[in-house]
Amino acid sequence: MRDWQCQAHVKHYCRYHVVFLPKYRKKALFGALRREIGAIFRDLCRQKGIELVEGYAMRDHIHMLLMIPPRLSVSNTVRFLKGKSAIQIFRRYKHVQRNFTGRHFWARGY
């Protein structure tokens, strides 16, 4: 049975499967970054009121199942997640990894 979410005037069950790729599909998600990327995305989802149902970090991409409320658009939500996570990754790992191209960590699209 589905768990419908309720707001003032709507019941919804909006789940979206989103895949993020690092720029140029580099195998940049390993070691400490792979362990911490889940915490980064959980924190960002909590800020916007998004439920992170499932998430898997592979070496060259990330799978996430997000429950986004209808008041937020999917494109703005993905833009927020990719932008803020790229800034946090750059700040934490700029001295360790040299394959970051500026602050552009994620490839275009989702």
Residue 15: give its domain's CATH number: 3.30.70.1290
Spatial CB neighbours of 73, under 8 Å, sequence gap ≥ 6: none
* Tokens coding 46: 């909590």
Beta bridge partners of 65: 17, 54
Assess whether pLDDT exceeds 60 at residue 59. yes
Q: How many domains does the chain have?
A: 1
Q: Which helix (H) or strand (E) holds 78?
A: helix 74-93
Q: Report the C-alpha gap between 21 and 106 in whole angstroms.
A: 6
The arithmetic mean of pLDDT across residues 31-40, rounded, is 85
- Domain encompassing residue 43: 11-93
Closest CA to 68 of 9, 20, 110, 5: 5
Q: Is residue 104 part of a domain?
A: no
Which pLDDT score is estimated for 45?
Answer: 95
| 8 A C-beta contact, residue 77 and residue 85 | no
**Residue 106 within any structural domain of the chain:** no
Range picked from 20-24, 48-52, 96-100, 102-106 for highest mean pLDDT: 48-52
pLDDT score of 17 more than 70: yes
pLDDT band at residue 78 under the 50/70/90 scheme: very high
